[in-house]
A = this chain, B = another copy of it.
Amino acid sequence: MTGRKVTRDDLRQAAEKYKNWGKWGPDDEIGTLNYTSAEDVVAAARLVKKGKVISLALNFDNNGPQGGKTNYPALGRINPLHTMLRTGTDAYSGVLDKRGIRAADDMVVIPLQCGTQWDGLGHVFYENSMWNGYDCREVSSFGAQKCGIEKTKSKMVGRGVFLDVARALGKDCLDDGYGITCADLELTAKKQKVEFKRGDYIIVRTGQMERCLKAGNWDGYPGGDAPGFAFETLEFVAKTELAALASDTWGCEVRPNNTEGGINQPWHWITIPIMGMTMGEIFYLKDLAEDCAGDGTYEFMFVAPAIPITGAVGSPTNPLAIK
């Protein structure tokens, strides 16, 4: 499909071809997370061999990606605003002592899509539908009545497979606008000598985040041009029967989107509401990339629990690769 613009008709065909609605029953709210079986969890744990834990999270603070310039309206996505409710300076000043304990507390105002995060199945709609055919109106101002992120609270554990596509293609960072193909993913896996299994958590590195971190600014990162999944990788998602897919970019899929008729993020239109695929974005992959390049092992135990905020359509997460 590369080279040709994605049309509304392509979307319709893809929706028909890749629709997983009903696959896990009419009441399912977690989609492809179901692919990971208990046996897969046991097998994933067996991958822990050197006892190394690698966090795939950016720190959540005012240096986060939402500070970057963008033409894509942020619609309320700010960097997290962390504020204190009590402090050590209060303690030092003696004003806490009437309470008999010197303690600090804090809070955060945090858009759930502002940093390293899971996009839940309530995050994107196809026409008037969300995952499994639920009415999109289930996600109102009162939150997601269906497919809230809290439904995943015992998931996000399984085998992690890391695909360092940038490295496999001999680049520090894929070019903005470069659409990763199925062939790229297969090639990367082959070079890394790793095979896919049903229920995997597949994590793909483009290098874009590291380019921003090196440059010391996030301009263009949130909603700007980026390397990412081409529309055709829907086939990869379907064929591998993966549990979830994550990347180091703002939105996983290639931007600009190469579409017609004002369609934005066509891959999202299909992956989330049609296939029921939970998606990880803004994953920090530098440390993992270095470790995998070092030991040649691209599979590991992956544990990345969402914070079960009732009715949320996403969640910040601190994903761990445990090798």
Please list the residues of chain A having a beta carbon within 8 angstroms of any beta carbon in chain B.
37-42, 44-55, 57-61, 63, 73, 75-78, 80-95, 98-113, 122-128, 130, 135-144, 150, 153-155, 157, 259, 262-265, 268-269, 301, 303-314, 316-320, 322
Contacts and interface: CB of A to CB of B under 8 A. Distances in A.
A94 B136 CA distance: 12
A127 B143 CA distance: 22
A268 B76 CA distance: 30
A308 to B, nearest CB: 5
B57 A153 contact: yes
B308 A41 contact: no
A108 B309 contact: yes
26 contacts: A42-B48, A42-B51, A45-B48, A53-B155, A58-B308, A59-B153, A76-B85, A78-B78, A82-B310, A84-B84, A88-B125, A88-B138, A88-B140, A89-B90, A89-B92, A89-B95, A90-B141, A91-B139, A100-B264, A103-B125, A103-B268, A105-B123, A106-B112, A107-B110, A303-B322, A305-B317
Nearest to A49: B42
Contacts of A98: 262
A255 B126 CA distance: 42
Contacts of A127: 102
A152 to B, nearest CB: 9
A259 B100 CA distance: 10
A318 B306 contact: yes
Nearest to A77: B105
Given A107-B110, A110-B107, A141-B87, A309 B102 contact: no
A121 to B, nearest CB: 10
Given A112-B106, A314-B105, A93 B140 contact: yes
Contact of A81 (B78, B99, B130): B78
Best-surrounded residue of A54, A85, A87 (most CB of chain B within 10 A): A87
A186 B248 CA distance: 46
Contacts of A138: 88
B92 A128 contact: yes
Given A95-B140, A107-B76, A320 B301 contact: no
Nearest to A60: B309
Given A37-B51, A264-B100, A311 B108 contact: no
A234 B63 CA distance: 38
